[in-house]
Structure formats: C-alpha cells, structure tokens
Structure 1
Amino acid sequence: MESFKSILSAKGPSLFLLPTWMEQNEYLTAGFTSRNGGVSEEPWASLNVGLHVGDQDADVVRNRQLIAEAIDWPFEAWTCGEQVHGSDVFAVTEVERGMGRLSRASAIADTDALITNVPGVLLASFYADCVPLYFYDPEHQAVALAHAGWKGTVQQIAIRTIEAMEKQYGSKPEQIRCAIGPSIDDCCYEVDGFVIDKLQPLVQELANLVNSVPESMLTLVENGKAMVNLKQINRHIMLKAGILPIHIELSEWCTGCSSDQFFSHRKEGGKTGRMASWIGIRER
C-alpha cells in the first residue's frame, strides 16, 4: 500500500502527505510536493521549488509560499540547505530557522541532511529523481531529512543522519521511524560502469548483512549497464543502522514513470524543476 497519500488541489499545490506519521502526532507535518499547482512557466511548470534550475526566483519563492500556506505553516519556518550530493549532516537550531527560503545564498552551506528537535522549524530539501529520506523520533521529538542520490547513497547518508540524531538528541535506532519517498525506480534508472563500480561493493555488503539478494538492489543488463533501485539500497542501509523493518515506510511512486505528477531530471533531459520533501513539528 502506498505510504504517501495524494492530496489533489484545483487551485493550490497538489501534495503527497505521510498520513501514518501525521496521525500519530497531530503537531507533525511530513510530505512531498508534486509538479502541479504552482506559478512557474515551462519548462519548470508549475510547482518548481528549486532556485538553482534557471526559473524566476520570484516564482520559486511564491511556489514555496503556496506550499507553506497549504500545510498551514508560516513561510518563515521553511529551512533548507545547499545540497552538494554529499553526506554531511547539519543540526538546525532556532538560529538557522528560515535559512535558504528566499535565496540560495542564505541556505545552510554544503549539506544534504538536516536534523532538528526545535518545534516550529520546517525542514525542506529538493529532488528530481533522487531519493528523499525522512526520519522521526517520537521519543525525543526530533525529525530529519536526507537527500540521497547515488553519491549520497554510496556514502550511506542514511546512517550518517541516524548517527547524528543519536549524538545530538539521544535517539535510538530501534525507536526511529523512517520513510523513503517518491523517487526514480529501477524501471527507469539505468547506470553505466562507473556508477556500477561505486555501488556494487555496498550492494553486496548490504545483501550479506540482511540476508537479501543483490538483484533486489542492482541488476546487470546488456552493454555493461545496470538497473538500480536506490530506494531498496537505502532501505537496506536503514536496516544496517538498526532501524526496525516495521518502522520503514516505502513509497511506490516512480518519478520517471509519472511525469504528469513529478519532475524527472533523467526523463526530461535535465531541463526541469524540483520537488520538495518537508518535515516539521509545530509549536504546541
């Protein structure tokens, strides 16, 4: 069953919510944006939230504001980093609240994962095929987002994020809830030998650790290529970190297959917009 519930809107942004978490905590919001219901023009039509893709900054900011309005959060809470396909994790405090919402220059530098336990901070990160990872510790009321392309996956950014939550907030892996959001699936994600060489050792290690088969994560095909399932690789990394299988939500949405719903860097030749993941716990 799909973990992310589609919320269609005729006049505002169409969104995907994570209801299992939101039903457990009425103060928590978590979800993923679609490509629909914004103000951007082609080729970023219409709910582009990326300031780095050539779109008009004013349109991007307006789209971000529309999303904040739709989930009933103040736009001043929107906090994001300048993603670099790395594995650095940043602990957001009240001081950084709102950084990056209006410009790239004001974003938290060089970070692909954000964690916080500050109520009223809304974490956001950006995607057009890469894997959005969500983390929620109900015991310590801490949340996190991580951006996992193939590079971040190889660097096991999920483990880095969980370790940072343990260090900063005392989170325990067996208590942390994780979710893997809409992203490109192995049906659409073909890679060459360079990426295969980077991924194969990790895939084999993970398969051995959790008694799985490598083909569930990476399947070799003709001409030295491979079809890669980054969602499953990240799920296995979460299991390696000690996350319980029943605490992992996995979206079935493929951004490559569903171009009517999502931007896809690969399917659209790189000239496209970005979706956002978000998570936050509002002040009581």
Structure 2
Amino acid sequence: MKFKNNEQAVLNTDKIAPFITFPILSDIGFIKHGFSTRLGGVSTGIYESMNLGFSNGDDPDSVTVNYKRISDSIGFSTENIVTTDQVHNTEIRLITAKDKGKGVVKKRDYKGIDGLITNEPGITLATYYADCVPLYLVDMKNKAIGLSHSGWRGTVKRMGKVTLEVMQQNFNTKPEDVITLIGPSICMDCYEVSKDVAEAFVNEFNPEQMKDILLDKGNDKYQLNLWQANRHIFIDAGVKDTNIHISSVCTSCNSDLLFSHRATKGKRGTLAAFLMIKE
C-alpha cells in the first residue's frame, strides 16, 4: 500500500511486523532496506507495540522479541544488526563483520555515533528515530552504503555531507555516484521551532536556500523544513539533484503508524531504519 498521494514510500503489511520501503531503494538490486512502524510488536503502554529502543524504559525482553519480528519481516538476521549510540553529533563509524550484533545481541564498545557506513555484505546497519531525519546513502559504483541520523543539530552540522566525506575516505565514494533517500521524519507543517534554532539555520544556509527551509510566523516562532535543508546539503556536497529523494512521510502526521516525539510529548517508543548490502 502506498501512502496517500505519495509514490516515494510503500507500507508493507503482508508480514507480522509492517514496515516501510522506498521504491527508489527497492530498485537497487544489491541492497535490502526498511523502516519500522509502531505496529506488529509486543511492547505495551506508551511503547505499543514495535518499540526498538533498549534505553527508553521498555522491557528489554519485549524489545528483543520486537527485533526478531522486524528482522524476520524485512528479511535479515538479528545477529547481523549493528546499531548507533546517538547523541545528535556527526560522528560516523566504519562497520565491519566483527561489529555484527552490537547494540542488539551484544554490547556496543563505542559511544557517540550517529552514522554508520560499510561496504561489507551481510551487515545490517540500524539507526533510531521518532521525528529526526534518516539519511540513506548508496554508492552505486563502489557498492557501499551509509545510514545516518540527522536531527536539527545534525542537519545544521551537515550530517549528509559528513557521511559522504567519510564514505569517500574509506571507499573512494564520489557524490555523483550516490543515491540518497531522506526518510520518514517530521514535516515542516508539524515542526515549530524557536528563534535560536531558526538562527542556527540562517547562519548555516544561504538566503536562497532559506526560502525552502524556514517560515517566519512572527512572535519568534518558525516552521522548519528539515527535508529541504538536507536536500540542499546533499546538493552542496555534489550529489545530483535527480539522485536525492524525499520520502514525504511525516512521523507526526502519521503518529498512529509511527512514533513521534512531538505528537506524544516524549511518551513514545523508537523507530529504526535498516540498510544492508545483500550477501
């Protein structure tokens, strides 16, 4: 099922745990991907039901079951997932086979990581969300991938560009060879911000770009468009405009389907984005 008036995202409901895929990524033969919903899990209360966060107060046994369900539904092994330890910065970690399972079936031995990259098949990268922006990156030439978390702080710090640069250092990635997807996250209409946040964007982006990014409502209140901000970041970094895709799925507008920090005033579970190179 496609979201209403949206050709960029598909809701897959034929498995025990419904998940979202994006046609532009589904057309790439060497990767597998998905984005979880809040449906199909066993968590209860504010975490109902597919909560994938171990650190938000939910029963760890329930979260473990949820990982098994979403893994089976999308089609990868829980033991091969590697997760972030997000702190709203722009630190990227190169993931290899020795990292498999970290954050799910074994403890992480790293902290403060908001982005993951790899060129090794069989490793499922996972990052966490409840309004912030998932950035999927696929190097079509070198068959390498990146998956990064970009909230407003990460966006101001140009997380998309940083991810590309680390991929270039490790895989010789060139921006013109990369397909990007800006995933489900809070839309401009739902995202009101204060003056200090608005000023951070004004100081980072040029006036022409700001026409897409910020709407001044008066009284020091603004509507912020993280989707367009990340699009401009990718363009500035050298990604072809035709290779930048926006899912147009808002976590807040779809809070019955997706966890939204804003919509629930922080009382919620955690979503995850997944990306892997097929074995």
TM-score w.r.t. length of structure 1: 0.93
Aligned runs of 1:51-200 on 2, under 5 Å? 51-102=54-105, 105-106=107-108, 108-200=110-202
Write the distance in 2 (CA, Å) between the matches of 1:88 and 1:277. 17
Q: Could you tell me whether the CA contact under 8 Å between 1:4 and 1:31 is conserved in 2? A: no
Structure 1 partner of 2:219: 223
Per the TM alignment, residue 101 of structure 1 is displaced from its structure 2 partner at its CA by 1.3
1:109-141 CA distance string (max 9 Å, x none)? 211010000110000000000000000012111
How many corresponding residue pairs? 274
Q: Could you tell me whether the CA contact under 8 Å between 2:186 and 2:251 is conserved in 1? A: yes
Write the distance in 2 (CA, Å) between the matches of 1:260 and 1:160. 33
After superposition, the CA RMSD in angstroms is 1.4
TM-score w.r.t. length of structure 2: 0.94
Structure 1 unpaired stretches of 5+: none
1:228-272 CA distance string (max 9 Å, x none)? 010110010000000001111111111111111111001101010
Q: Could you tell me whether the CA contact under 8 Å between 1:101 and 1:107 is conserved in 2? A: no
SS at match of 2:264: coil
Supply the AA of the counterpart residue of 1:237.
I
SS at match of 1:270: coil
Q: How much identity, in percent, do the aligned residues show?
A: 35
Structure 1 partner of 2:34: 31
SS at match of 2:205: helix
Write the distance in 2 (CA, Å) between the matches of 1:3 and 1:107. 36
Write the distance in 2 (CA, Å) between the matches of 1:72 and 1:222. 48
Per the TM alignment, residue 194 of structure 1 is displaced from its structure 2 partner at its CA by 1.7
SS at match of 2:65: helix
Q: Could you tell me whether the CA contact under 8 Å between 1:81 and 1:107 is conserved in 2? A: no
Write the distance in 2 (CA, Å) between the matches of 1:167 and 1:227. 36
Supply the AA of the counterpart residue of 2:152.
W
In terms of mean alpha carbon deviation, does 266-275 or 16-25 score higher? 16-25
Runs of 4+ in 1 over 3 A off after TM superposition: none
Write the distance in 1 (CA, Å) between the matches of 2:105 and 2:225. 33
Structure 1 residue corresponding to 2:246, chosen from 247, 250, 256 = 250
Structure 2 partner of 1:19: 23
